Amino acid sequence: MFLDACRDNPFIDPMHGYTRSVGSRGLAETEASLGTLVAYAAQPGSVASDGAGHHSPFTTALLKNLGRPGDSISQSLTRVRRAVCDATRGNQIPQDFNSLLDEIYFTPASSESDKEAALRAQIAAAQAKINQLRNKTKKRWRH
């Protein structure tokens, strides 16, 4: 579960400066039940930024970093944390509570045959370019 909530209290009375809740700033700390992962946009007791664009820094980082082939959810969330810290100059630090029993991958790594096929295609393209350059050079020397 991904929670990109501001974590501040929307029930602050601007006239009197008090709130209708008994809690402090931000959402309270939680624990993940066995086999679950809960990722928050900010640490417990902290307020997450809404950001200046269409998405918050947390959502922007999630969109950029989730689903990279071969990366586990844990690896992705580490990159998300770094990106949000960088974007907010350390003012917002995402936190996750993880009790997963296995690695989770949104996009599995490419198979070795896919990588080999891509490499063969690159080699073939390079060889074609070399042959093209050779032919041009031969034509110039003939004249």
DSSP string, 7-48: -S-TTEETTTTEESSSS-SSPPP--PPTT-EEEESS-TT---
Token pair of 94, please?
């995402």
More confident residue, 9 or 32: 32
Predicted TM-score (pTM) of this structure: 0.63
Angle between helices 57-65 and 73-87 (to 10 degrees): 140
For the segment 55-80, the average pLDDT, to the nearest whole number, is: 92
Domain ranges of the chain: 2-98, 110-143
In CATH, what number does 2-98 get? 3.30.70.1470
Instruction: Report, as an integer, the average pLDDT of 17-36.
Output: 62
pLDDT tens, residue by residue, 83-138: 999 999 999 999 998 899 998 888 877 666 667 777 888 898 899 889 888 887 77
Handedness of CA 106, 111, 115, 121 (dihedral sign): negative
Average pLDDT of the chain, as a whole number: 80
Model pLDDT, residue 9: 56
